[in-house]
Amino acid sequence: MKIGDKYTGSTQDYGKKPEIQGVHLLDLKRFNDCGGSFNEIVRLIDGKVGDFEIKQVNYSEVLPGAVKAGHYHLEQDDLWFVPADSRLLVGLKDLREDSPSYEVVSRVVLGGGKAQLLFIPRGVLHGLANLWGEPARLIYFVNQNFNPDAADEHRLPPEEFGEGFWEIQKG
């Protein structure tokens, strides 16, 4: 069988996507029963999750169609959790010149039925978008207290992630 030349464009890429060094996506156990569900998000030992010392916990609601991108920190690491009944597209770009994954861009969907934690190290540009029809929630833990006099939120435009990045991609 021969397919017409005008239809032989590209094929879906199922290869492993490039990873950003230091970014970790951790699957969490989610327990479901007749009455609902339960997730342990973090377990603190002396105020720490591993080596990550939590200084502040934040909660954000993201309305449908909203894009909040992007910013990076020089002093702060983030640990993000999107409840399984929400869904957010997260964009990441490595800005650290000394990193082997310098300028690698990554897309991660958090929530959407899964329970995961996303660790975002300092120097990695990050942002999010709610591309779906319902408000979504984000709970995030940081290892620095916010200080408006020494703000560590360095902003770059959403276009820094690439053209069409903040749209649903057909696959």
170 found inside a domain: no
- Of 117, 80, 82, 104, give the one whose Cα is nearest residue 161: 104
pLDDT given at position 1: 80
66 found inside a domain: yes
13 found inside a domain: no
| CATH number reported for the structural domain that contains residue 95 in this entry | 2.60.120.10
Q: Which two tokens stand for residue 48?
A: 């720490």
150 found inside a domain: no
Q: Are 17 and 106 in contact (CB under 8 A)?
A: yes
Range of the domain at 127: 19-30+43-145
- What mean pLDDT value characterizes the chain? 92
Distance of alpha carbon 16 from alpha carbon 18, whole angstroms: 7
166 found inside a domain: no
23 found inside a domain: yes
pLDDT given at position 17: 84
pLDDT given at position 171: 67
pLDDT given at position 27: 92
11 found inside a domain: no
Q: Is residue 106 scored above 70 in pLDDT?
A: yes
5 found inside a domain: no
Q: Is residue 11 scored above 90 in pLDDT?
A: no
Q: Stretch 137-142: mean pLDDT, rounded?
A: 97
pTM score: 0.89
Q: How far is CA 151 from the centre of its chain?
A: 21
Residue percentage of the chain with pLDDT more than 90: 74
Q: How many domains does the chain have?
A: 1
